[in-house]
Amino acid sequence: MPALQFDEQHIRDVIDRVVERTFNMDFRWDWPGGVAFYGICEAYEATGKKEYLDKLKIWIDEQIEEGLPQLSVNGVSIGHCLLTLYEATGEEKYLDIAKEMAEFLDSRAERFADGIFQHTVNSLTDVFPQQAWVDTMFMAGYYLLRIGHLLGNEKYIEDGLKQYHGHEEFLQDNDTNLYYHGWDHVNQHHMSGMYWARGNSWAALTMAKALKFIPVQHPSYMIIDGSLRDQLSALVRLQSPEGLWHTVLTDETSYLETSGSAGIATALLLQGRLYNKYTQKAIDGILSKIKEDGTITGVSAGTAVMNDIDGYRKVPAKRIQGWGQGLGLAFLAQLVRTKEDVFG
């Protein structure tokens, strides 16, 4: 495959703008901020720009001082930036809260079947009994792997792997190799049965990231590697000429969606040169969606498992979203790393 072509300094400048725009958003202690700040941490690690982390630290410290809300499976995603802050600063208060999140998942989070997390959000009214949503692979599964690796805690690592394997079992279609958005265990079906772009990006990105934490001789390595390999092989064949993916992957009448495209493209980057011709198209497509002020456009709003395909087509994609900023930054940061891997 030909080498990727892009202007590294331009990518770094875009990262600056996206980070600045993200810090001009207002977040609660919940998953939109969790994904946004994950992206900022990725940008910090790729560029070494301490000012990104300094601004994040200010926000986190203010939240801690005001008091933190009750936890949910989705809300644990904000723990990703706590792990990065701890690793960068050595301040135990960040690790202490990160441990509380892991203990919540271990002992109090709702589960079903053989210990799979029920999708939960910070809401008393939105309840999804015995439902698995693909989002959880990022929000909680990958988090358990990260903190388990940091602490040398095998229990957390094995629980994280359980989440990957359980969500693969319930959500990855054996024929298309794409991931469904959700699974209703009570009624034993995939609800609307849609292959949602951002959902597939949660799966692809976190599986690609997970492999660095798993020894090759561990059985889980081959399970996750195989799932990711087959999923990516299907996804690249659904890429649009514009370099993006449709919000319903298999429906060309649904709009092209940027956050899902960024997550998928990040997973492709993590596979090295194998997918360069698809990644090259994605670079152009994603950059075309970033405004001069750092707003990433074309990002679908928060999306439940909709009732039918028309529900997904009608999810608005008008406004800036934390998950769009975060997944976009994850992609841009991985581009910078790619350049360093080749020329560093």
Expressed as residue numbers, the domain containing 162 is 8-336
Q: What is the mean pLDDT of residues 9-23?
A: 98
pLDDT in tens, 89-99: 999 999 999 99
Burial class (CB in 10 A: 0-12, 13-18, 19+), 337: middle
What pLDDT is recorded for position 340?
61
Residue 197 phi, psi dihedral angles, 5° rounding: -65, -50
**In 171-188, which positions are buried (b, 16+ CB within 10 angstroms) versus exposed (e)?**
bbeeeebbbbbbbbeeee
The reply to whether 240 falls in a domain is: yes
The verdict on residue 112 lying in a domain is yes
Domain for residue 169, yes or no? Answer: yes
Residue 343: inside a domain, yes or no?
no
**C-alpha dihedral, 263 to 82 to 108 to 215, nearest 10°:** 60
Give me the CATH number covering residue 296: 1.50.10.10
Percent pLDDT > 90 in the chain is 95
What phi and psi, each to the nearest 5 degrees, are found at residue 106?
A: -70, -40
User: Which residues are paired to 290 by β-bridges?
Assistant: 296
Give the pLDDT score at 121.
84
Which of 114, 135, 175, 230 is catalytic? The answer is 135
Question: Is 135 an annotated catalytic residue?
Answer: yes
**pLDDT grade for 174, boundaries at 50, 70 and 90:** very high
Task: With a cut of 80, say whether residue 128 has pLDDT above it.
Answer: yes
* pLDDT at residue 160 greater than cutoff 90: yes
Which runs of consecutive H residues, i.e. helices, occur in the chain?
8-23, 31-47, 50-66, 79-89, 92-107, 136, 143-151, 154-171, 197-210, 219-236, 258-269, 276-287, 309-313, 322-343
Q: Residue 188: is its pLDDT beyond 60? A: yes
Per residue in 55-100, pLDDT tens?
999 999 999 999 999 999 999 999 999 999 999 999 999 999 999 9
CA distance 172 to 176: 8
pLDDT for 124: 55
Whether residue 281 lies inside any domain: the answer is yes
Please indicate, yes or no, if residue 79 is contained in any of the structural domains: yes
- What is the chain's mean pLDDT, rounded? 96
Above 60 in pLDDT, residue 344?
no
The answer to whether position 1 is within a domain reads no
Q: How confident is the model at residue 123 (pLDDT cuts 50, 70, 90)?
A: low
Query: By three-state DSSP, how is residue 37 classified?
Result: helix
122 band by pLDDT with thresholds 50, 70 and 90: confident
Alpha-carbon distance of 259 to 269, in angstroms, equals 15
**CA dist., res. 274 & res. 270, Å (int):** 10
C-alpha to C-alpha distance for 98 and 10, rounded to whole angstroms: 34
**Per-residue pLDDT, 342:** 45
Contact between residue 17 and residue 296 where contact means Cβ atoms under 8 Å apart: no
Q: How many domains does the chain have?
A: 1
Q: What percent of the chain has pLDDT over 70?
A: 97
Q: pLDDT confidence of 339, banded at 50, 70, 90?
A: confident
Residue 193 DSSP SS3: coil
Q: How confident is the model over 249-291, as pLDDT tens digits?
A: 999 999 999 999 999 999 999 999 999 999 999 999 999 999 9
Tallying the residues shown for the chain, one arrives at 344
pLDDT tens profile 210-231: 999 999 999 999 999 999 999 9
Q: Which two tokens stand for residue 153?
A: 């805690």
More confident residue, 316 or 127: 316
pLDDT at 343: 37
Domain membership flag for residue 3:
no
How many CA atoms does the CB half-sphere of 106 hold within 13 Å?
Answer: 16
Dihedral angle of Cα 290, 26, 95, 114, to the nearest 10 degrees: -80
Q: What one-letter code names the amino acid at 12?
A: R
